[in-house]
Chain A
């Protein structure tokens, strides 16, 4: 008992012991967390590392049982440019860039409207879009194909057709940005309108600068969707190489008769596809700044 009492006393010595004890337990838990994180990283990164390594393999073009190439070189990348790959790449980039711009504009305007304007049928419209969004997009595939075919926007002309398909329903993706706009004080809009701004100026000069993280998020998702899409792209391009995007084009190399000759090229194509997305993410992530609204209103 006496010892216990002595330990519980707040002497500098005891405090130090306690401090050292806390530090030790914190170190242990941190170590465990890091070990877990490293294991997860390895599991996640392995396929990517394999693909990068395979893309530099020059001794053979088919699937092999080892990872590190015996002969290194850029043969696969050079070979890519003898195929339709540049066309696919261009198709993909054009589609993704157009969609990211148009979809971002539509989504942000839609969100701002639903967040700030009060009009009849506003709530029914939102509910309607929610219910509509519950149906899988694939259901519309057949009818979309018929429509686009009649418009002459399939096969070799698949790019404008795809852009149309992707942006057509983009207004329904307003939830997240509307949620964010709702958190921005309305008095900011009102102050700006009294200061002489039009609604459009309020959006571009006040709301968007404050909603930077959400704008970036909208751009990224709008870019990523078409960039990695396979199902619609394959369906609308209908085996016409000129209308394919990268995903569909590269996939066509994985058929049993092709994979023998093009497996390493497939890997090189994969690496090239990853580059713009990686750059985009690295450039934009610094804009995810928190607390941009501090000091706007009393709070």
Chain B
């Protein structure tokens, strides 16, 4: 239960590699914040600096208004769950969870109460007397969470806690973390490389790349208003289609010319483009796979493509198509929208006409890669 404030936080390793550049972030009390990004983007390093496991090369980290730069991890009042669980192998599950309480010299009967309560919540009561090696991956992760839970600390840190679990268990644990968060009602900082986890768990998401923050925002914000090309491509699965296109202004209206087709960009997008006062120019156009639709046949606003791969996902179909100039695009079509005849025609090599929904096109600057609409 505390706010966390990072001001100009920097991490430079001994070999002069800069892992984190001027990191500025205000994490509110009881907020669930997720650091997400590809491996090597500095998200874990930042978390470890907050935890005190990594020296801070520059800037300050404040927890609850107190600068903790020079405090040992044990003096920061934080709890942390590690990717590899880091359970003490020579202790039983009970002793693992009780370890921090014993160090605090809490009376044994209180420890018993706390440990059994946590075990109850996590459903590991039956395993309390087992050693970690006799547990499955999911159970070990629960023990690790239990160990962090009983501490009632100000900030709860999680470093890719679900990465080592299989897909099914990961979904289940993700839901449990949401419940846990409600129960603990404390500040969470969660690190992951998985954008689904980030979107589903976070109140706000911090997207990082090469040690820089790319965007901070709610899941809806980063999805709908990505600040730049990197965020746009990182959030959403399958990833957003991006390609070079030409923005044309004709008689006060905007059009996009791409792959020989001319698509209208009116509505909200046209209004925003007009507000920003853009003229005709080169852009990188972004279109999410679910915002591309199949057209009935050749038309001015339809692009002719060839189907390369058809991935049947059950409730939806992912169509990998190639335009005439060799650009690959992904189209996501709900299975329910396809007639039987249409489905039969989705064979490799088939010619498909696609078109974009103008409301959900994204425009990026080819140079700076920034979003033209929300910059």
Residues of A within 8 A of B (CB): 118, 185, 187-188, 190-198, 201, 205-206, 209-210, 292-299
Contact = CB atoms under 8 A, between A and B. Distances in A.
Contacts of B151: 195
Given A195-B100, A298-B84, A299-B84, 15 more contacts: A190-B53, A190-B86, A191-B80, A191-B87, A191-B147, A192-B88, A193-B73, A194-B51, A194-B78, A197-B74, A294-B132, A295-B131, A296-B87, A297-B82, A298-B137
Interface residues of B, number: 33
Contacts of B100: 195-196
B132 A195 contact: no
A229 to B, nearest CB: 35
A188 B131 CA distance: 15
B85 interface: yes
Contact of A201 (B86, B90, B103, B137): B103
Contact of B79 (A193, A194, A198): A194
Nearest to B157: A194
Interface string B77-113: 0111011111111100000000110011000000000
**Which 8 residue pairs spanning A and B have beta carbons closest together?**
A295-B133, A295-B132, A294-B133, A297-B84, A195-B100, A187-B86, A296-B89, A191-B86
Nearest to B151: A195
Given A196-B100, A209-B90, A190 B73 contact: yes
Interface string B1-43: 0000000000000100000000000000000000000000000
Interface in B57-81: 72-74, 78-80
B179 interface: no
A190 B72 CA distance: 11
A295 B86 contact: no
Contact of B85 (A197, A198, A294, A297): A297
B133 to A, nearest CB: 3
Contact of B53 (A118, A193, A206, A297): A193
Given A295-B132, A295-B134, A296-B89, A197 B84 contact: no
A206 to B, nearest CB: 6
B74 A188 contact: no
B74 A196 contact: yes
Contacts of B288: none
Nearest to A188: B86
B193 interface: no
Contact of A196 (B53, B83, B86, B103): B103
Given A206-B88, A210-B90, A194 B73 contact: yes
A185 B86 contact: yes
Contacts of A198: 72, 74
Given A191-B80, A293-B89, A298 B99 contact: no
Name, among A190, A194, A296, A298, the residue most crowded by chain B CB atoms within 10 Å (CB to CB): A194
B369 to A, nearest CB: 36
Contacts of A196: 74, 100, 103-104
Given A190-B73, A195-B103, A292 B84 contact: no
B164 interface: yes
Contacts of B83: 298
Contacts of B89: 210, 292-296
B177 interface: no
B100 to A, nearest CB: 4
B99 A295 contact: no
25 contacts: A118-B14, A185-B86, A187-B82, A190-B53, A191-B80, A191-B88, A193-B72, A195-B74, A195-B103, A195-B147, A195-B151, A201-B103, A205-B99, A294-B132, A294-B133, A295-B87, A295-B131, A295-B133, A296-B86, A296-B87, A296-B132, A297-B82, A297-B86, A298-B83, A299-B84
B135 interface: yes
Interface in B216-249: none
